[in-house]
Amino acid sequence: MNFLKRKFYSYYLQPHIEFPDRIERREYAFILFNEDSMHRHISFSSKEAILTYLKANVPAHAYYSSAYYRTPSASTMKEKQWMGADLIFDLDADHLPNIENLTYEETLQEVKKELLKLLSFLTEDFGFGKHDIRIYFSGGRGYHCHISNKSVLELGSQERREIVDYITARGLEIKEIVGERSIYKDRFVDKRIEIYPDHGGWKGRIARGIINFFKQIKSMEREDAIKELMKIEGIGKKIAEALYDALTDERMKRIEKGMIDQASEFRRIVKPLIKRLAVSLHSEADEPVTADIKRLIRLPGSLHGKTGLKVTRVDIDAIEDFDPLTHAVVFGDDMIKVNVEKPIKIKMKENVFELEKGAATVPEYLAVFLVARKMAVA
Amino acid sequence: MAEAKEWVKEQKVNIEEILFDELYERARQRGVERVKQSLEKGIIYDAPLLNDVDCAMEIFSYPIARMLVVAIESDYLLRRYALAEAKRAYENMKNEGEDFISYLAKEMGIEVNGEKIHFADYLKYAPTWDMKWKLVNRELKNGYVMLSKNEVARLIQEAIRKKIYNELSYIFAPPEVKKVFRNEIIAIKSRIAFKDKRAKMKEVNADYFPPCIKSLISAAKSGINVPHVGRFTMVTFLNAIGMSIDEILKIFSSSPDFNEEKTRYQIEHITGRISSTVYAPPKCDTIRTWGLCYPDEYCRGIKHPLFYYRRRRK
């Protein structure tokens, strides 16, 4: 048995699995060590049966279906007979910009920002209560958000797609969320935009976003404000300066009331702002996965074969405090000899490690992490 | 509607009477009219209701029309009929007060709370292929979507359409119906054959489709759940270059939750077969913001997917 499998085995002797509801209606799937293919269409009738399987097979990855089926072990969708599915959001780092230059810790921090945005949509707009939402650290590079509220179980994939489009702002039409008024003054037409900060939905979100943006700009020193404005695509130095200088106290008051006097400056900033406010879920090509009615998700409490970290429940009120490299670690402190293949600096369980290439003695938890990530061999 | 059903029951009339008794001749005529109008015009016009008898005939004409539609056994007619009845209900709802509409919504299983409706109900019935009905363009707060009275009526229309379609899909007409309406059935069937047959379409050359459309088609064919805006892009494009509904439908048939009736209805709507609007395919700009654009070397200078196709086909 190789090192990693041995360690996983020791965990699966007494794992802390959080079992899904309706255990016997789910399909389970596993990837075993040294295998590429997935063992699918497995069903279990009890918690004990799942635990027995984990102990006997020590999988590198363990999944269950978000969907409930009449016959989960059948091999085709038709024979499985779909009955409903939890609503799952999968936030992953893969598609975020510049992600390849970030460390593992920084990457997870970026995903957390997206998670907080997602939660604001789910609670404020969709009205889900905190008890409807369960958040898990995926064990890899992201977070999963599960919703099993009765109202969503039977939604089809097109309806789920509408929900994804909502939180990612796909298909958002600016003319539907702002008012445009033409004011005739001495034969001139003055176009004005009205925004509605007190409204619900994107209408209110974008309005509050615009107001906050201008407030932030106004509170900055001229030079910084111009720099900030120029971060927006399509805004050069000249426009940024003009925008900042036009932002008088009186102007700001009107903006806070929802009136934007110049339609042109609004147009410049509205699209980039929408992008910032929307949740960046998956890469766009992958996105259908989230709206899928039959996807597989990692079993909470199982280990992720590429990190050795546990799929861990995150308290919705303590997201900021959640540190995957402490809270998702299951292995102990016994010292183990490994051969580090790449120099690395990492903070785990509150300890900072700086390792050079070559032999090193490290705590078991770090050894598992490094070996699983293929940064060391045991 | 439930009340009308109760009323019909209370009258203690049986099917034979409605089908054969001279008393109900006018109801039978009106029943045939309902079916013919839905086929030809896509909507059922109001009949003048001057007295109680008129009202009774109007009410009895409804089960007659339903039996007739079922007896003709055409899915095309069934879809047209269900939509026309639902549209008629919508037209009538427009003149009703809020209380009545809330009542009707409840009867259709839609929980309306003032002018708010839960998003899950909204998604079941809203025509979200239309941009202004997409959830993202709606005011959604605490789980509820804000709607105007007419918009609630529009959702009820869709609920009624679904209900009629589903009810009539699973029943058979009493054999007498085919006898009584023999001539009408023959006439209507020949009109269906005429209308349902689409003029032979121009040859379509898929090699020259722009890459966005190609990737959408291959995604749909391999059973991947294509985003809504993607479906919209694909359907409007394929319709614009002259592909038939059945051919378009085939592309979607491998989708994991393929529902022929629903998909056909949506395609027919977007392509103007059963609605007044033919939606145009979106511009390249729009496709790009939807994240569906994967340009190739021929895309340079192209602003609309149709130009791509026309240019390359030359």
The ipTM value here is 0.86
Q: Is the Cβ pair B139, A156 closer than 8 Å?
A: no
- Res. A284: pLDDT tops 50: no
Q: Is the Cβ pair A172, B124 closer than 8 Å?
A: no
Q: Do A203 and A321 fall into the same domain?
A: no
All residues at 6 or more sequence positions from B255 whose CB lies less than 8 Å from its CB, including other chains: B220, B223, B225, B226, B263
Q: What are phi and psi of A204, to 5 degrees?
A: -75, -40
* A162, A173, A292 ranked by CB distance to B228: nearest: A162
Largest interatomic CA distance in chain B: 73
Q: What was the pLDDT predicted at A286? A: 45
Provide the terminal-to-terminal Cα distance of chain B, rounded to the nearest Å. Answer: 56
Closest-CA residue in chain B for A82? B257
Closest-CA residue in chain B for A120? B142
Q: Is the Cβ pair B131, A201 closer than 8 Å?
A: no
Q: Is the Cβ pair A200, B141 closer than 8 Å?
A: yes
Q: What was the pLDDT predicted at A6? A: 95
Q: How far is CA A294 from CA A82, A297, A321, in A?
A: 8, 10, 32
Q: What was the pLDDT predicted at A283? A: 47
Q: Is the Cβ pair A173, B137 closer than 8 Å?
A: yes
Collapsing DSSP to helix, strand or coil, B113 comes out as strand
Q: How far is CA B224 from CA A297, B167, B216, B230, in A?
A: 18, 31, 9, 12
What's the rounded mean pLDDT across residues A244-265? 83
Q: Is the Cβ pair B143, A128 closer than 8 Å?
A: yes
CATH number of domain containing A111: 3.90.920.10
A34 neighbors A41 (Cβ within 8 angstroms): no
H-assigned helices in A84-236:
104-120, 150-153, 157-168, 174-177, 201-219, 222-230
What residues of A are in contact with residue B225 (Cβ under 8 Å)? Answer: 157, 161, 288, 291-293
A143 neighbors A136 (Cβ within 8 angstroms): yes
Q: What was the pLDDT predicted at B242? A: 81
Q: What was the pLDDT predicted at B247? A: 85
Number of folded domains in chain A?
A: 3
Tell me the two tokens of residue A84. Answer: 């409903």
A33 neighbors A60 (Cβ within 8 angstroms): yes
Among candidate residues A23, A58, A60, the one with its CA nearest the CA of residue A42: A23
Q: Is A186 a catalytic residue?
A: no
Q: Do A107 and A12 fall into the same domain?
A: yes
Q: Do A322 and A354 fall into the same domain?
A: no
Ranges A57-71, A240-254, B217-231: which has the least confidence:
B217-231
- Closest chain A C-alpha to B275 CA, distance in angstroms: 21
- Closest chain B C-alpha to A277 CA, distance in angstroms: 13
- Res. A370: pLDDT tops 50: yes
Provide the terminal-to-terminal Cα distance of chain A, rounded to the nearest Å. Answer: 12
Query: Which positions in chain A have a beta carbon within 8 angstroms of at least one beta carbon in chain B?
Result: 77, 82, 124-128, 151-152, 155-159, 161-166, 169-173, 176-177, 199-204, 284, 287-288, 291-294
Q: Is the Cβ pair A176, B131 closer than 8 Å?
A: yes
What's the rounded mean pLDDT across residues A9-21? 95
- Res. A190: pLDDT tops 90: no
Would you place residue A289 in the very low, low, confident or very high pLDDT band (cuts 50, 70, 90)?
very low
What's the rounded mean pLDDT across residues A120-142? 93
Q: What was the pLDDT predicted at B263? A: 86
Q: Do A371 and A322 fall into the same domain?
A: no
Cα(B129)–Cα(A347) distance, rounded to whole angstroms? 49
Active-site entry in A190, A224, A286, A315: A286
- Res. A296: pLDDT tops 70: yes
Domain hosting A347: range is: 331-378
What residues of B are in contact with residue A294 (Cβ under 8 Å)? Answer: 256
Q: Do A213 and A107 fall into the same domain?
A: no
Tell me the two tokens of residue B165. Answer: 């379609």
- Closest chain B C-alpha to A198 CA, distance in angstroms: 11
**pTM of the predicted protein model:** 0.78
Domain boundaries, chain B: 2-194, 206-313
Among candidate residues A338, A335, A342, A329, the one with its CA nearest the CA of residue A375: A342
- The answer to whether B258 faces chain A, any CB pair under 8 Å, is no
* A127, A173, A293 ranked by CB distance to B131: nearest: A173
Q: How far is CA B36 from CA A283, B75, B261, in A?
A: 50, 15, 22
Give B53's Cβ-side CA count (13 Å radius).
Answer: 4
Phi-psi category of A67—alpha, beta or left, where left has phi over 0 and alpha has psi -120 to 50? beta
Q: Is the Cβ pair B128, A162 closer than 8 Å?
A: yes
Q: What was the pLDDT predicted at B23? A: 83
Q: Is the Cβ pair B119, A126 closer than 8 Å?
A: yes
Ranges A148-162, A290-304, B186-200, B245-259: which has the least confidence:
B186-200
Q: How far is CA B207 from CA A40, A74, A233, B210, B310, in A?
A: 37, 38, 36, 9, 12
Q: Do A21 and A147 fall into the same domain?
A: yes
Among candidate residues B8, B130, B32, the one with its CA nearest the CA of residue B81: B32
Q: Do A40 and A154 fall into the same domain?
A: yes
- Closest chain B C-alpha to A19 CA, distance in angstroms: 27
Segments of chain B assigned E as strands: 112-113, 116-118, 140-141, 144-146
Closest-CA residue in chain A for B128? A162
* A162, A176, A201 ranked by CB distance to B141: nearest: A201
Q: Is the Cβ pair B120, A152 closer than 8 Å?
A: yes
- The answer to whether B141 faces chain A, any CB pair under 8 Å, is yes
B45-49 long-range CB contacts below 8 Å, 24 or more apart? B46/B88
% pLDDT > 90, chain A: 53
Q: Is A286 a catalytic residue?
A: yes
Q: What was the pLDDT predicted at A177? A: 85
Q: Is the Cβ pair A125, B141 closer than 8 Å?
A: yes
Q: Is A261 a catalytic residue?
A: no
Q: Which of residues 199-238 of B touch A (CB under 8 A)?
A: 219, 224-229
Q: Do A72 and A100 fall into the same domain?
A: yes
Per-residue pLDDT of chain B (314 residues; tens, 9 = 90+): 566 767 776 777 777 888 888 888 888 999 999 999 999 888 899 888 888 888 888 888 999 999 999 999 888 899 889 999 999 999 989 888 888 888 888 888 888 887 899 999 999 999 887 888 999 999 999 999 999 988 999 999 999 999 999 999 888 888 888 888 999 999 999 888 877 654 334 567 788 899 999 888 888 877 777 778 888 999 999 988 888 888 888 888 876 667 888 888 888 888 887 776 778 899 998 888 888 888 888 888 888 998 888 888 77
% pLDDT > 70, chain A: 96
Closest-CA residue in chain A for B131? A171
Bridge partners, residue A64, by sequence: A28, A297
Residue located via tokens 């008088």: A248
Among candidate residues B61, B69, B36, B304, the one with its CA nearest the CA of residue B177: B69
What's the rounded mean pLDDT across residues A230-237? 84
What residues of A are in contact with residue B116 (Cβ under 8 Å)? Answer: none
- The answer to whether B120 faces chain A, any CB pair under 8 Å, is yes
H-assigned helices in B12-127:
15-20, 25-40, 52-72, 75-94, 98-107, 119-125
A174 neighbors A105 (Cβ within 8 angstroms): no
Ranges A79-93, A202-216, B6-20, B291-305: which has the least confidence:
B6-20
What's the rounded mean pLDDT across residues A89-95? 81
Query: What is the torsional sign of CA A118, A120, A123, A126?
Result: negative
Q: Do A243 and A319 fall into the same domain?
A: no
Among candidate residues B54, B21, B79, the one with its CA nearest the CA of residue B260: B79
Q: What was the pLDDT predicted at B20? A: 84
Q: Do A181 and A72 fall into the same domain?
A: no
Among candidate residues B9, B272, B2, the one with its CA nearest the CA of residue B163: B2
**Of residues A283 and B50, more confidently modeled:** B50
For B2-194, give the CATH class. Answer: mainly alpha
Mean pLDDT of chain A: 88
- The four Cα atoms A14, A17, A21, A22 give a dihedral, to 10 degrees, of -50
Cα(B135)–Cα(A202) distance, rounded to whole angstroms? 10
What's the rounded mean pLDDT across residues A80-88? 90
What residues of B are in contact with residue A152 (Cβ under 8 Å)? Answer: 120
What residues of B are in contact with residue A151 (Cβ under 8 Å)? Answer: 118-120, 143
- Res. A285: pLDDT tops 50: no
* A157, A161, A171 ranked by CB distance to B131: nearest: A171
**A-to-B residue pairs, Cβ atoms closer than 8 angstroms:** 113
Write the DSSP symbol of residue B304.
S
Q: Is the Cβ pair B143, A124 closer than 8 Å?
A: no
Residue located via tokens 């007419």: B150
Cα(A99)–Cα(A106) distance, rounded to whole angstroms? 9
